[in-house]
A and B are shown apart, each in its own frame.
Chain A
Amino acid sequence: MSAPAGIGEPEPPPDDHTLLGLREMELNFGPQHPSTHGVLRIILKVDGERIVSARPEIGYLHRGTEKLFETETYPMVIPHTDRLDYVAAATNNHAYCLTVEKMLGLEVPKKAQYIRVLLDEMQRISSHLLWLATAGIDLGAMTPFFYTFREREVILDLFEEYCGARLTLHCMRIGGLLEDLTPGWIQKVRDFTVPFEARIDEYEDLLTENRIWKLRTIGVGVLNAARCVEMGVTGPPLRAAGLAWDVRRAIPYEVYPELDFEIPVGKNADTYDRYLVRMAELRQSRRIVLQCCDWLEKNPEGPIRGKTPRVIKPPVGEAYAAVEAPKGELGFYLVSNGTNKPYRLHVRPPSFINLQALPEMAKGHLVSDLVAVIGTIDIVLGEVDR
């Protein structure tokens, strides 16, 4: 045991790696800051503007959700999942329902599966649009924000028409769905989705070949595939590093094997590639949405909920199921003791796990790059803190 540093002991010598022997400045970045995307706090050590170390401090939005899960019956958990990644509620609902269905061995009707996938992909589009808006504005590109919000608004309206909520959807139930599609909804989705391709081109015209955008993103926040795997980073950051890992293909669920889509990958693992990957994913999600629309138009009839028991009591045991959320692999790990409430329900939140990479990605860059890095990870603090 070493004695604690006390009064009267000499000051430690200043670090000599900075000019004039001056020490780094400590800079509190957040929790109230325009570009920390919520209540993330990062304690920065900066040498001039160069980041010597960045330490994320989380917990400002901790609500004890996982403990709360244990006090709720299985169906009652679903609305709580809405509030994890509150800009992508559909995928949260989906991951949780999948886990419970896996435990129960429930079969979900085909039509419900297609609607779920449709909702997921619309959610992915809306989440990526929000990401593009905020990541752009972090780097000073103001206009994409308004363009993407114009389209996101349409998606939220569509959600509202389907399930009554715009963000906290609560749209899926264990074994399927609660509500069938409203008449004409598919056509409205199609009306939005078909011209959406041109909208993506519009965003890309503003940014993709923009010199300043490229200067700000290329080579910034590099995280190679090996480090991604070591840290468990998933989603666009992993794919931008060149690894085509996508839960929709790797551990297929629902009707994804029947659908035709590609997994975009980057190769330089930097902020620019992550941007390109997400833009390509927008196009792929659009394709999936259109395929779902086709199928649902051809098969308008059919049940939307499987043979769900009145009281859901999964057998004693454990199960893990995951979906490809917009931000990465979102998994729920469920331990059941045979009662009508989960014994333990653990969330594998992609935001939280991807955020681990922040210190590594930010180190050695400038303060301006830190906002680019925070933006490119695409975190939602509701999911990080739970």
Chain B
Amino acid sequence: MEISPSLLNNVLIPIVKALVIVNVMAVMSGVLTIIERRSLAFLQVRKGPNRVGWEGSLQWVADTVKLLFKEDVVPEKAEHLIHYLAPVLVVVPALTVFAVIPWGPEMTFRVPGIGKITTGAYATDLNVGLLFILAVTSIGIYGIILAGWASNSKYALLGGLRSAAQLISYEVPMGFAVVSVILMSRSLSLVEIIEAQRRMHLWFVFPGLLAFFLYFLSGVAETNRVPFDLPEAESELVAGFHTEYSGIKWSFFFLGEYANMVTVSAIATTLFFGGWLRPFPNVAALSFLDLIPGIVWFLAKIFVFMLVYIWFRGTFPRYRFDQLMDLGWKTLIPLALVNLVVIAIAALGGTRGLQILAWILCGGFALAVVVVTRTRSRKAARAARPVTPVEVRA
């Protein structure tokens, strides 16, 4: 049977790719939970789950099965339809975003009966991919707000409100950080952004050092992770917006959170760390690194970001609501604006201008790290503790 090329390219391949991506991502979120729990346990001198499967590697399967069979409790006075809809609103956008994330470069492989197929390791390459991502991820927050509102619980309501405020505050610096990448790459397509980094011999993290920090911080805030996990702050709001959720509906929020973490990491990788490119993509001496496929590079970079997320969780206390807003509006947004202007000026000079900026920024950063570690050691901090014991004899 002959399959027409248009049917193949416009229907079959996209469907297969969509299926693969959605399922792989859903599974990956599960796998991430076990990675997170084990890494966190490592940070916290404990073992973490180590019973189900090899070293606990199947714990997430057991958890999922348990959640599927758990009773779904809905508060009597909840807004039932919206209560039902909210988790869907969280998960669907979180998975939709993966459509435009470029996992790897174009690949050619042979399918029996059809022939050679050349296709990118991404569902689609939208020419406004970045805008699409920003737009779709923002929808997810409706799920959280509506969950908080529909639960008819005060704790959930407070969680939902916090979430709304948080999203608005951090969407802005995130947007500015992304715009600075667009200035450098002159494209909104994620594939094109990666190609631009190859052309310029430059990962955008170097000229966009500040933009990267701003992006990642805002990303952590938008995914409601420590230290910005206020919407669900366990010790304050019990569980925040998902207090009144149970069973598989609850796990949808969980899935959404992990999917969003992957998204943020993937976009950070794409925008700032050359996506699927190996380090120094234009240095021929390192060409043996090409033996590792692009997808692996991409996933490895994502994995590093995930570890940073977990590291944050093990280290930081939680911000307070007003402090979070202060950080967003009074620190990140001004910084983002300054950064935007600097990058715009450097981008006028084309590749050369960006490279000069990269050298200046990275040199300055390295210098700052050296100075700070020299002058503010832990020992010095210990010596300068404000409370001095006072001898009192009765």
In the complex, what distance in Å separates the CA atom of A63 from the CA atom of B229? 38
Task: Decide yes or no whether B382 CB sits under 8 A from chain A.
Answer: yes
For window 234-293 of A, CB contacts with B under 8 Å fall at 244, 246, 249-252, 262-267, 273, 276-277, 280, 284
Q: For the complex, count residues of B whose C-beta is within 8 A of A.
A: 42
Complex CA distance for A116 and B42, rounded to whole angstroms: 37
Identify B158's interface contact among A35, A146, A367, CB under 8 A. A367
Q: Which of B279-336 contact A (CB under 8 A)?
A: 313-323
B381 sits at the interface (CB 8 A) = yes
A210 in complex: contacting residue of B235, B236, B316, CB < 8 Å: B316
Q: Is A204 interfacial (CB 8 A cutoff)?
A: yes
Q: Are B378 and A34 in contact (CB under 8 A)?
A: no
Does B50 make an interface contact (CB < 8 A)? no
What is the bound-complex CA distance between A33 and B321, given in angstroms? 20
CB pair B235 A49 closer than 8 Å: no
Q: In the complex the two chains form, what is the Cα distance from A216 to B326 in whole Å?
A: 13
B381 touching A212, Cβ below 8 Å: no
Interface residues contributed by chain A, number (CB under 8 Å): 54
CB pair B320–A277 under 8 Å, yes or no, is no
Please pick, from A208, A216, A249, the residue contacting B385 in the complex, using a CB distance under 8 A.
A208
Residues of A within 8 A of B386 (CB): 276
CB-defined interface of A129-164 with B at 8 Å, one 1/0 digit per residue?
000000011111111011100100000000000000
The answer to whether B238 and A34 touch across the interface, beta carbons within 8 angstroms, is yes
Q: Given A140-B226, A215-B323, A249-B394, does the pair A262, B389 have CB atoms closer than 8 Å?
A: yes
A145, A210, A216, A244: the one contacting B390 at CB < 8 Å is A244
Chain A nearest Cβ from B150, distance in angstroms = 17
Shortest Cβ distance from A49 into B: residue: B321
Tell me the bound Cα distance from A251 to B234 in angstroms: 42
Q: Give the shortest distance, in Å, between A247 (CB) and chain B (any CB).
A: 10
CB-CB under 8 A for A244 and B392, given A143-B314, A276-B385:
yes
| Cα distance, A25 to B236, chains bound together (Å) | 16
B229 A143 Cβ-Cβ under 8 A: no
- Are the CB atoms of A143 and B235 closer together than 8 Å? no
Q: Are B227 and A263 in contact (CB under 8 A)?
A: no
Q: Which residues of A contact B370 (CB under 8 A)?
A: none
Closest CB in chain B relative to A132 CB, distance in Å: 12
Contacting A49 at CB < 8 Å: which of B158, B319, B393? B158
Q: Which residues of A have CB within 8 Å of B382?
A: 201, 204
Q: Which of B229, B317, B319 has the most CB of A within 10 A?
A: B317
CB contact between B44 and one of A33, A146, A213 (< 8 Å): that residue: A146
Q: Which residues of A contact B320 (CB under 8 A)?
A: 215-216, 366, 368-369
Q: Contact between B389 and A264 (Cβ–Cβ < 8 Å)?
A: yes
Q: Does any Cβ of B come within 8 Å of A205's Cβ?
A: yes
Q: Which of A355-381 contact B (CB under 8 A)?
A: 366-371
Asked if A371 and B235 make an inter-chain contact with CB atoms under 8 angstroms apart, the answer reads yes
Q: How far is the CB of B8 from chain A (nearest CB, A)?
A: 51
Q: Is B374 positioned at the interface, with any CB of A under 8 Å from its CB?
A: no
Judge whether A250 and B236 touch: CB under 8 Å. Answer: no
Q: How far does the alpha carbon of A277 sit from the alpha carbon of B322 in the complex, in Å?
A: 27
Inter-chain CA distance A142–B313, complex, in Å, is: 8
The reply to whether the CB of B110 lies closer than 8 angstroms to some CB of chain A is: no
Bound Cα distance A169, B381 (Å): 38
B154 CB within 8 Å of chain A: yes
* B76 touches A (CB below 8 Å): no
Contact pick for A212, options B314, B316, B390, B391, CB 8 Å:
B316
Tell me which of B238, B323, B381 contacts A33 (CB under 8 A): B238
A315 to B315, CA, bound (A): 58
Residues of A within 8 A of B392 (CB): 244, 246, 249, 262-263
Q: How far is the CA of A142 from the CA of B233 in the complex (A)?
A: 12
- Across-interface contacts of B233 in A (CB, < 8 A): 140, 368
* A266 to B390 alpha-carbon distance, docked (Å): 9
Does A206 belong to the interface (CB within 8 Å)? yes
CB neighbours (8 Å) of B44 from chain A are: 142-143, 145-147
The reply on A68 being an interface residue by CB < 8 A is no
* Cβ A277 vs Cβ B314 within 8 A: no
Which residues of A have CB within 8 Å of B52? none
B90 → chain A closest CB, angstroms: 22
Which of B155, B229, B237, B387 is the one whose CB lies under 8 Å from A266?
Answer: B387
Question: Is the pair A368, B236 in contact by a Cβ cutoff of 8 Å?
Answer: yes
List of A residues within 8 angstroms of B393 by Cβ = 249
Asked if B46 lies at the interface with its beta carbon under 8 angstroms from chain A, I say: yes
Q: Are B229 and A263 in contact (CB under 8 A)?
A: no
B386 to chain A, nearest CB (A): 7
Residues of chain B within 8 A (CB-CB) of A370 are 236
Contact call B154/A35, Cβ cutoff below 8 A: no
In the complex, chain B residues whose CB is within 8 Å of the CB of A145: 44
Q: Which residues of B contact A368 (CB under 8 A)?
A: 230, 233, 236, 318, 320-321
A contact residues around B322 at 8 Å (CB)? 366
Which chain B positions have C-beta within 8 A of A147?
44-45
List, in ascending order, chain B residues with CB within 8 A of A266's CB: 387
In the complex, per-residue mask of B51-72: 1 if CB is within 8 Å of any chain A CB, else 0: 0000000000000000000000
Given contacts A143-B44, A368-B233, contact A265 B321 (CB under 8 A): no
CB distance from B312 to the nearest CB of A (A): 11
B348 part of interface (Cβ distance < 8 Å): no
B378 touches A205 (CB 8 A): yes
Give the nearest-CB partner of A209 in chain B: B381
Asked, given contacts A140-B317, A143-B314, whether A277 binds B235 with beta carbons under 8 Å apart, the answer is no
A231 in the interface (beta carbon within 8 A): no
Additional 16 contacts, C-beta under 8 A, given A136-B317, A141-B317, A209-B381? A35-B234, A139-B318, A140-B317, A140-B318, A142-B226, A205-B378, A212-B318, A244-B392, A246-B392, A251-B394, A252-B394, A263-B389, A264-B387, A265-B390, A284-B389, A371-B236
Nearest 6 interchain pairs by C-beta: A140-B318, A141-B317, A146-B44, A35-B235, A244-B392, A262-B389
